[in-house]
A and B are shown apart, each in its own frame.
Chain A
Amino acid sequence: MIRLSVNGRRRAYAGPPFARLIDALREDWGLTGTKEGCGEGECGACTVLIDGEPANACLVPMGQLDGARVETVEALGTPERLNRLQRAFAEKGGAQCGICTPGMLMAAEAHRRAKGRKDREGICRALSGNLCRCTGYKHIIESVSAALKGKK
């Protein structure tokens, strides 16, 4: 039995240890906020935090998560109470089709917590493992910038 915390809630996992985190999140626990894009660690759509660090949930087998603390986009905020990053994405047009958005938000959240650089270069580096095919990144970067600077 693998015991872990997912969004602050204790979970026990008894399935095959080589199943992927993304499948446990989406199929076993109904946490469909985390999206699967490429399934090979290229696009970052499935980014979650594992013990505070960003990771592609498509590349992590459940067996590696005993005792781990996993956070998904569902932990950031609720539709009624968006967190600062989510609000900035909504206000600045940081999301279009939305598939990359949960991963972008989680990568940005990891960067915010690590107290990373708030300039454009720092934000671009933090988001460099995440692909977006709609926005051209400009509005995403502006959204993260606004959230990190604390502007409304």
Chain B
Amino acid sequence: MRGDAGSMTYLRPRDPEEALRLAGECPDALALAGGTDIMVAWNAGRLNGRSILDLSGLDDWRRVSTTRDGIDIGALVTHAQLIRHRELAAGWPLLAAACATVGGPQIQARGTLGGNIANASPAGDTFPALAVYEARVRVRSSRGGRELPFAEVFAGVKRTHLAPGELIVSVHLPRPPEPDRQLFRKVGTRAAQAISKAVAAGLLWTDSGGSVRELRFALGSMAPTVRRLRRAEEFLRGRRLDKGVVSEAARLLEEDVSPISDVRSTAAYRLRASQNILRGFLEGRLETP
């Protein structure tokens, strides 16, 4: 079955207050931003009869602003906007790099950061970067607002902890200290228009003696939701990155992920590729400039 335009109830609020009111009144309405996922489902006939809350008219949620402390990215900011944003590229280059691997230019120009998060795919390409930058997701409903640490946004495959009537308003990234090493890496069948087999982001700070002060490393497509490598991160704190330590970190990676075999890859390949990326990063062979 194809999408039937006549079967849809279509709501297009003009300002945030109207959007939050409608979201409260119609909690079953599907929030639509850039449409790069929803329209695929609709074209296949999977959303016929649904109500759609189209947020694309809310220009207030389409802005990026930087402060000394960080950057605020409106939920409707597109991947293309983020790729072009000079301050994001300077302060949060892993997010800019991630956005450049989402779909192709057409998808990047329509798809939004808020939509990417709300869609909650296990393979969301921006999620490892948002995880290592320790993003905070600001949500609102007609009853008020709250802020979710990025690690607490996802409930499972395609599910978030947003309550009915809540909408993502913006994403805040605190400004991190300049890392000594950083990495974004996506493993897919091809460079563009491919869903990740595995996707990684890492930030590393070392002290003058070469010991690890802090590692933040996150993997996507390796579990129902994006995962920080808490075990490996904890283990590496204060250690020098010699061969044995790197091997132990790669071994510990397994404890924070649960890869599956599916149409895109196998669990074994995903694990091996992720471990190789972590090793390469810790050994200084893999880096994002």
Contacts and interface: CB of A to CB of B under 8 A. Distances in A.
Query: Do A and B associate with each other?
Result: yes
B70 interface: no
A41 B5 contact: no
Interface in A99-152: 107, 110-111, 125-126, 128-131
How many chain A residues sit at the interface, stated as a range, is 20 to 34
A92 interface: no
B89 interface: no
Nearest to B56: A64
Nearest to A46: B106
A129 B192 contact: yes
Given A39-B43, A125-B105, 8 more contacts: A17-B12, A18-B8, A18-B10, A59-B36, A60-B110, A66-B57, A129-B103, A129-B107
A130 B10 CA distance: 30
Interface residues of B, number: 29
B268 interface: no
A16 interface: yes
A63 B10 contact: yes
A55 B104 contact: no
A130 B8 contact: no
Contacts of A40: 40, 43-44
Contacts of A54: 105-106, 109
Contacts of B193: 42, 128-129, 131
B39 A61 contact: yes
Task: Give the secondary structure class of B's interface.
Answer: mixed
A131 B190 CA distance: 12
A63 B139 CA distance: 25
A129 B104 CA distance: 4
A17 B54 CA distance: 11
Contacts of A15: 5
B239 to A, nearest CB: 38
A95 interface: no
A46 B3 CA distance: 17
Contact of A18 (B5, B109, B191, B192): B5
Interface in A60-103: 60-61, 63-64, 66
5 contacts: A18-B3, A40-B40, A110-B105, A129-B106, A131-B193
Given A16-B5, A20-B43, A107 B56 contact: no
A56 B107 contact: yes
Interface of B: 3, 5-6, 8, 10, 12, 32, 35-36, 39-40, 42-44, 52, 54, 56-57, 80, 103-107, 109-110, 191-193
A58 interface: yes
B105 A126 contact: yes
Contacts of B56: 64
A116 to B, nearest CB: 9
A16 B10 CA distance: 9
B105 A59 contact: no
Contacts of A39: 43
A41 B107 contact: yes
A119 B35 CA distance: 31
A19 interface: yes
A50 B106 CA distance: 10
B5 A107 contact: no
B105 A129 contact: yes
Contacts of B105: 54, 107, 110-111, 125-126, 128-129
Interface in A1-58: 15-20, 39-42, 44, 47, 50, 53-56, 58
A32 B86 CA distance: 39
Contact of A44 (B8, B44, B106): B106
A60 B6 CA distance: 16
Contacts of A53: 80, 109
B54 A64 contact: yes
A76 B42 CA distance: 30
A63 B43 contact: no
A130 B39 contact: no
